[in-house]
Chain A
Amino acid sequence: MTQPFDNSPLTTAETDALRARQRERNKVMGLILGFLVILFFAISIVKIAAKPEHAPAEGTERMEHS
């Protein structure tokens, strides 16, 4: 599937395009990882504060079907 690499040196324009794309990908990756850090922090806080599993939280009524 992967084509053999062409080892001839890249032109300046090609290098710039390559770097630009790498930078973009890194930026998106950074945003996703940052988001995951925040999400996992939030999940941890919620889980630590939670009562035992599936017990209704304080002050909320449990909605049950008849």
Chain B
Amino acid sequence: MSTANPQALIMPADWRDFFALTKPGVMRLVIFTAVCGMLAAPGTIHPVLAFTAILCIAVGAGGAAALNQWWEADIDAVMKRTAQRPIPGGRMDRTSARDFGVALSGISVMTMGLAISWLAAGILAFSIFYYSYLYTVWLKPRTPQNIVIGGGAGAFPPLIGWIAVTGHITWMPVLLFLIIFMWTPPHFWALALFVQIDYSKAGIPMMPVVAGERSTRRQILAYAAILLPLSMTPWFIGGTGVVYGLSALLLSGMFLWLSIKVGLREGQPGDGMKPEKRLFAYSIFYLFILFAMLVVDRFATFYGLQA
């Protein structure tokens, strides 16, 4: 259905398009890391409240995603990957997307505040503001470091999950935040190297487009090198046990090894970009397993299987 079809203009948007507006694919990692942050946090939380907190984090992320698409409809329209999203696809008007995003954001923050705590609600509100305004409106069109800053938005869920349980901020949830923050650039730039994302056409300064492939490869390597000691810091400060510590060493070591292969090579046209694809695939596996090991470590300590 296109905007040229007059029927499309009077038809109210399909509920499935509202659902698509929340970026359900992204939400999977949001929910997973939030649950891990919760399970790894010291303390207990009633299952109903735990469910509510996760739901609020997910709905808040959905609201931010809807606001992002409301703002970026023009940019999405010129990129192949995003041209069929509800607004550029002509299946929804922008106002509906904006109202939907505002409603989801408001409801999730209020519910978090009333059911869990106003600290968790405040951070959730800030994370929505961070993604839908600081990132989407302000920084994304202005700097090739946009992915670095955007990574912050994805780094909030485990932090909020943890704080929902403990009720206060300590070093551990901040470290979880920093790990995802440092993980995002190499993860995304690996993708940007092998998928010729048409960001340049949309006027978005993506790193490989602006700074060139070579500089992007070096930066991937730099972030992976920082990630290795950073991911082990929870163990160093005594926040986790040896189960997590050694897992982080192995997982981040592998991450660094794959990044070295990407970072020190020159891409040739038609070489298939295998190392980049491998790094991207591994980066997703890495984050899932690292956070899972955080939870495993917690239970290992709780049941006396480690000091």
**How many interface residues does A have (CB within 8 Å)?**
30
Q: How far is the CB of B302 from chain A (nearest CB, A)?
A: 5
User: Would you call B238 and A53 a contact (CB within 8 A)?
Assistant: no
Q: How far is the CB of A16 from chain B (nearest CB, A)?
A: 12
- The CA-CA distance from A25 to B92 in the complex, in Å, is 14
C-beta contact mask, B1-37 vs A, less than 8 Å → 1, else 0? 0010011011110110000000000000000000000
Q: How far is the CB of A27 from chain B (nearest CB, A)?
A: 9
Closest to A1 in B: B94
Q: Is the interface of A mostly helix, strand, loop or mixed?
A: loop
A12 at the interface (CB under 8 A from B): no
Q: Is the interface of B mostly helix, strand, loop or mixed?
A: helix
User: Would you call B11 and A17 a contact (CB within 8 A)?
Assistant: yes
Contacts known (A2-B93, A47-B115, A54-B167); A62 close to B44, Cβ less than 8 A: yes
23 residue pairs bridging A and B, Cβ less than 8 Å apart: A2-B95, A5-B9, A5-B10, A6-B9, A17-B7, A21-B14, A25-B12, A28-B15, A42-B48, A43-B48, A43-B49, A43-B114, A46-B48, A47-B115, A54-B43, A54-B166, A54-B167, A56-B44, A60-B44, A62-B42, A63-B43, A65-B238, A65-B240
Closest to A6 in B: B6
C-beta contact mask, B92-112 vs A, less than 8 Å → 1, else 0? 011100000000000000000
Task: Tell me the total A-B contact number using a CB cutoff of 8 A.
Answer: 70
Contacts known (A6-B10, A46-B48); A65 close to B93, Cβ less than 8 A: no
B: interface residue count bin: 20 to 34
Taking CB atoms and an 8 Å cut-off, the chain A residues in 1-41 that contact chain B are 1-3, 5-6, 10, 14, 17-18, 21-22, 24-25, 28, 39
B239 at the interface (CB under 8 A from A): yes
B298 at the interface (CB under 8 A from A): yes
- The CA-CA distance from A32 to B15 in the complex, in Å, is 12
User: Would you call B49 and A46 a contact (CB within 8 A)?
Assistant: yes
- The CA-CA distance from A23 to B200 in the complex, in Å, is 42
A54 proximity list for chain B (CB < 8 A): 43, 166-167
